[in-house]
Structure 1
Amino acid sequence: RRTFYTDNNEFLGDHTLSQNPIYQVQGHLIYAFSNGVWASLDTTYFAGGSSSVDGVGNHDFQENTRYGCTLTLPLNRNHSLKLNASNGGHTRTGSEYDAIGIVWQYRFGGGL
């Protein structure tokens, strides 16, 4: 995946802020149990995003690695509960934070 940015030609008045793309690679190991439960181990690597003002570099290259896990529990034919957690493994600039989540999912259609 690639996230790209357009120039801000009105940065602090009449300056131009530019930012290079941020590239992302994800990996997932997923195991599906026979009862509809599934679990995964996840990792994501981000790199790029250096910015400049009027062509002068800001020395703010970003490089981050995140690790996480997910567990999804089916409640019935159309409803499931998803639990997830992630943390910043290596952070040069940017996303050093921990996150946990609980999601209630509704599946349209036939369900399981």
Structure 2
Amino acid sequence: LGRDGIDVLAIRDTPWLHHDGVAYRAIDCLATTTSPDHCAMPRSEMLSDVNPAPSAIGDLTNVRLLDLSDGVCGPELCRVVEGNVLVYHDSHHLTASYVRTLSAELGRQLSVQTGWW
């Protein structure tokens, strides 16, 4: 892509919901608990402190990195519900409703990385 002058925007993967290595769906957890907080996972178990993407792209000058992890997870927990919005569609995809809440941060990062606006 770089040789053809095509730029790439790469977004860091969404933290995956799992318990003891077994993926679970937020709605299944929510159906069996009295509080959405019981379905939250510690950020340290779901997301590495170090984003592996910068070292993976090396010297590829056509790749711009975006990371919405702080919009998906708080400092300590990755929750399955924020406010009244379900965060996860399944164990590793975000709901469309929740993604819309990330649009301002996505726009900010796109502006920084591309200079489009």
TM-score range, shorter chain: under 0.3
What's the TM-score, normalizing by structure 2? 0.26
Q: Taking CA–CA contacts closer than 8 Å with sequence separation of 6 or more, which of the two structures ends up with the larger relative contact order?
A: 2
Larger radius of gyration: 1
